[in-house]
């Protein structure tokens, strides 16, 4: 039986912040991403960043609480939280902290073996950085 094509071709998340330049620097310079597109119109500005493979996780409150407990020790995230898999957790964390991130909780080892750290971007968005144990450089 032939595999059916996924009905969704791409996930895009749009962040709107009062401090555009600070957010742009955080995500471009902090993660080392080059914009794939840059827009400017009627005084508005935007960049498009390729974040690789995207998935959408949908949690109920109990699961969100469980993940927050594992990563931070208490329920802290809002309705939306990013989780970004990085090749080198320490390097990514250091870069983002140097570009305005606030550390919510230092790295922990999850029950499934990933190394996760929680931070907040300059607009307050919570982000989990994670590195899988199979990745080079995983502690």
Residue 37: predicted pLDDT: 95
Question: What integer pLDDT is reported at residue 35 of this predicted model?
Answer: 95
In this structure, of 27-41, 99-113, 123-137, the range with the lowest mean pLDDT score is 123-137
Query: Do residues 90 and 103 lie in contact, with contact meaning Cβ atoms separated by under 8 Å?
Result: no
Which spans in the chain are helix H?
20-31, 61-71, 89-98
What is the average pLDDT value for the chain, to the nearest integer? 92
pLDDT > 70: percent of the chain: 94
Overall average pLDDT of the 31-49 stretch: 93
The domain segmentation of the chain, as residue ranges, is 20-131
User: What confidence score (pLDDT) does residue 137 get?
Assistant: 58
Of 4-13, 14-23, 130-139, which one has max mean pLDDT? Answer: 14-23
Q: What is the pLDDT of residue 9?
A: 81
Model pLDDT for residues 60-106, shown as the tens digit of each residue: 999 999 999 999 999 999 999 999 999 999 999 999 999 999 999 99
Instruction: Give me 8's structure tokens.
Output: 């969704």
Residue 138 clears pLDDT 70, i.e. is over it: no
* pLDDT for the residue 136: 59
Question: Looking at the domain that runs over 20-131, which CATH code has it been given?
Answer: 3.10.180.10
**Residue found under tokens 């991130």:** 101
* pLDDT greater than 90 at residue 11: no
Per the CB < 8 A criterion, the answer to whether 91 and 68 are in contact is no
Global pTM reads 0.84
């Amino acid at each position: 039986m032939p595999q059916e094509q996924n009905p969704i071709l791409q996930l895009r998340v749009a962040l709107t912040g009062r401090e555009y330049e600070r957010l742009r620097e955080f995500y471009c310079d902090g993660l080392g991403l080059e914009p794939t597109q840059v827009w400017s119109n009627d005084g508005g500005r935007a960049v498009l960043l390729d974040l690789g493979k995207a998935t959408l996780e949908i949690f109920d409150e109990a699961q969100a609480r469980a993940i927050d407990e594992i990563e931070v020790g208490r329920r802290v995230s809002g309705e939306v939280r990013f989780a970004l898999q990085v090749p080198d957790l320490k390097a990514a964390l250091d870069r983002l902290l140097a570009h305005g991130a606030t550390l919510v909780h230092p790295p922990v080892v999850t029950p499934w073996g990933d190394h996760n750290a929680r931070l907040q971007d300059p607009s307050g968005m919570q982000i989990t950085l994670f590195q899988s144990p199979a990745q080079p450089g995983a502690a």
